[in-house]
């Protein structure tokens, strides 16, 4: 009986579709047809449309909020870049300032260091595999670039000690590549020996690059703070990061030296992104959203920093604890921290093990 009812219903639906299609001009029939729905689905769509519309309203209001913020507050953006960072100062009623780049030697040191890591990427998939020589072409092409870089090194603007260290790194790279190409295989033991030889040299380049980058940006931010004078106390600043660069983020840490501990997460913010680089417009939009949401949180809930956190986080935490209790499992959650906490937005809990390259053997 049920099968017959379903068959009749289906036939009715097909008939309705056919009648509908037959009434349409031929050029519309391939794309038109009655929309199947139900009162429940229609009602759900009507309610969910409120949330969809919210984002358009946020965008419209955000442009006004951003204009108002920049008219009253200086803003510093510290953006990650392959050149050692990009610092931009927005000043109320004055032209935007973009700081000069980090000296080119930063990029030179980093490029030499990266060449070693890249070489490891080229050969690692083919270790101890004498039957597959597909690595040989890319390796020899990279070897040519490596030799060109080595031949050009003396003409670079670099301290003598730094140039000497980089020269040894490049020569070691070339010797390793020549050995692999001559033998027709990449032995794991050879790669390990190569890595051990290069590691102490790499540490030097990394340290010199960090000193160059930090010294440059400390001078820039120090000059900007002096220039802004009393307006510094109402200046916002934000830096971007992806997960891998969040801990000991250089640009954020430089800003923190001038802003001080009480500004962290209030006027000084670390904004996580999904890539190493982002645009100033995207960063300004994110910063505007944070500041605007704070005002909304204060309006509705009486706390200015509430919206910096997952709004459902407290209730979600309570729900997790309750669900764990049902399962006889102890809750595994971080300590509850107050809204407006000024702790660093990175890992700060002490633990065992090395915490920097200098701690490694």
Q: DSSP per residue over 271-287, as a string? A: EE-SSS---HHHHHHHH
Residue pair 135/193 in contact (Cβ under 8 Å)? The answer is no
**Whether residue 336 has pLDDT greater than 80:** yes
User: Mean pLDDT of all residues in the chain?
Assistant: 90
- Asked if the structure places residue 344 within a domain, the reply is yes
* Residues paired with residue 270 on neighbouring β-strands, in sequence order: 239
Does residue 262 sit in the same domain as residue 198? no
Does residue 164 sit in the same domain as residue 267? no
Do the bridges between strand 236-241 and strand 75-79 make them parallel or antiparallel, or are there none, so unpaired? parallel
Does residue 98 sit in the same domain as residue 110? no
In this structure, which long-range contacts are made by residues 115-121, counting pairs with CB atoms below 8 Å and at least 24 apart in sequence?
Answer: 115/146, 115/149, 115/169, 115/170, 115/173, 116/169, 116/173, 116/198, 116/202, 118/142, 119/173, 119/176, 119/177, 120/191, 120/195
Q: Which pair of tokens denotes residue 306?
A: 């509430």
Does residue 109 sit in the same domain as residue 98? no
- Asked if the structure places residue 64 within a domain, the reply is no
Does residue 85 sit in the same domain as residue 152? no
Residue pair 99/87 in contact (Cβ under 8 Å)? The answer is yes
**Whether residue 282 has pLDDT greater than 80:** yes
Residue pair 242/273 in contact (Cβ under 8 Å)? The answer is yes
Residue pair 308/265 in contact (Cβ under 8 Å)? The answer is yes
In this structure, which long-range contacts are made by residues 87-96, counting pairs with CB atoms below 8 Å and at least 24 apart in sequence?
Answer: 87/217, 87/220, 87/221, 87/251, 88/280, 89/224, 90/284, 91/228, 92/231
| pLDDT tier at 247, thresholds 50, 70, 90 | confident
Domain containing 163 — which CATH number?
1.20.58
Which of 160, 177, 210 is the endpoint of a domain? 210
Residue 169's domain comprises 105-210
Does residue 249 sit in the same domain as residue 334? yes
Question: Mean pLDDT highest for which of 50-59, 220-229, 345-354?
Answer: 220-229
- Asked if the structure places residue 95 within a domain, the reply is yes
Q: Tens of pLDDT along 46-86?
A: 999 988 898 888 888 889 999 999 999 999 999 999 999 99
- Asked if the structure places residue 140 within a domain, the reply is yes
* Residues paired with residue 237 on neighbouring β-strands, in sequence order: 76, 268
Total domains in the fold of the chain? 3
For 349, the 3-state DSSP assignment is coil
- Asked if the structure places residue 274 within a domain, the reply is yes
Give the max Cα distance, the chain.
93
Does residue 255 sit in the same domain as residue 330? yes
Look at residue 9 in the predicted model and tell me its pLDDT.
44
Does residue 243 sit in the same domain as residue 99? yes
Look at residue 226 in the predicted model and tell me its pLDDT.
98
Q: Tens of pLDDT along 285-332?
A: 999 999 999 999 999 999 999 999 888 889 999 999 999 999 999 999
Does residue 204 sit in the same domain as residue 136? yes
- Asked if the structure places residue 40 within a domain, the reply is no
Does residue 156 sit in the same domain as residue 201? yes
- Asked if the structure places residue 357 within a domain, the reply is no
Q: Which residues of 84-116 are buried (b: 16+ CB within 10 A; e: fewer)?
A: bbbbbbbbeeeeeeebeebbebbbbbbebbebb
The mean pLDDT of 329-357, rounded to a whole number, is 89
Give the separation between CA 82 and CA 305, rounded to whole angstroms.
Answer: 33
pTM of the entire predicted model: 0.86
- Asked if the structure places residue 168 within a domain, the reply is yes
Q: Which pair of tokens denotes residue 161?
A: 């000690």
Q: How many helices (H) and strands (E) does the chain have?
A: 9, 5
Cβ within 8 Å of residue 240, ≥6 positions away: 78, 79, 80, 270, 271, 272, 273, 277, 278, 283
Angle between helices 105-123 and 188-228 (to 10 degrees): 150
Does residue 89 sit in the same domain as residue 188? no
Q: Tens of pLDDT along 162-218?
A: 999 999 999 999 999 999 999 999 999 999 999 999 999 999 999 999 999 999 999
DSSP state of 27: T
Does residue 345 sit in the same domain as residue 258? yes
Sheet holding 75-79, edge to edge: 97-98, 86-90, 75-79, 236-241, 268-272
């Amino acid at each position: 009986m049920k099968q017959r009812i379903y068959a009749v219903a289906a036939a009715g639906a097909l008939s309705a579709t056919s009648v509908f299609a037959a009434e349409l001009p031929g050029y519309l029939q391939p794309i038109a047809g009655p929309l199947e729905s139900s009162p429940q689905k229609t009602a759900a769509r009507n309610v969910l449309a409120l949330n969809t519309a919210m984002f358009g309203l946020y965008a419209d209001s955000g442009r006004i909020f951003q204009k108002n913020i920049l008219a009253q507050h200086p803003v510093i953006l510290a953006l990650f870049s392959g050149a050692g960072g990009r610092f931009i100062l927005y000043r109320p009623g004055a032209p935007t300032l973009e700081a000069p780049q980090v000296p080119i030697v930063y990029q030179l040191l980093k490029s030499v260091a990266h060449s070693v890591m890249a070489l490891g990427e080229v050969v690692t998939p083919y270790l101890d595999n004498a039957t597959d020589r597909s690595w040989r072409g890319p390796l020899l092409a990279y070897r040519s670039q490596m030799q060109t870089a080595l031949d050009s090194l003396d003409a670079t603007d670099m301290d003598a000690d730094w140039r000497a260290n980089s020269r040894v790194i490049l020569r070691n790279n070339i010797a390793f590549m020549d050995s692999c190409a001559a033998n027709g295989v990449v032995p794991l033991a050879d790669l390990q020996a190569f890595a051990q030889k290069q590691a102490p040299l790499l540490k030097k380049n990394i340290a010199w690059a960090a000193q160059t980058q930090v010294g440059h940006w400390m001078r820039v931010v120090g000059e900007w703070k002096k220039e802004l004078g009393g307006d510094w106390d109402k200046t916002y600043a934000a830096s971007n990061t992806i997960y891998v660069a969040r801990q000991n983020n250089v640009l954020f840490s430089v800003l923190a030296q001038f802003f001080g501990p009480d500004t962290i997460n209030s006027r000084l913010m670390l904004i996580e992104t999904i890539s190493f680089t982002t645009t100033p417009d995207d960063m300004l939009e994110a910063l505007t959203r944070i500041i605007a949401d704070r005002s909304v949180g204060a309006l509705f809930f009486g706390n200015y920093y509430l919206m910096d956190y997952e709004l459902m986080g407290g209730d979600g935490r309570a729900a997790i604890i309750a669900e764990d209790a049902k399962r006889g499992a102890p809750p595994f959650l971080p300590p509850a921290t107050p809204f407006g906490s000024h702790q660093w937005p990175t890992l700060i809990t002490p633990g065992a093990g090395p915490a920097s390259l200098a701690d490694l053997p």
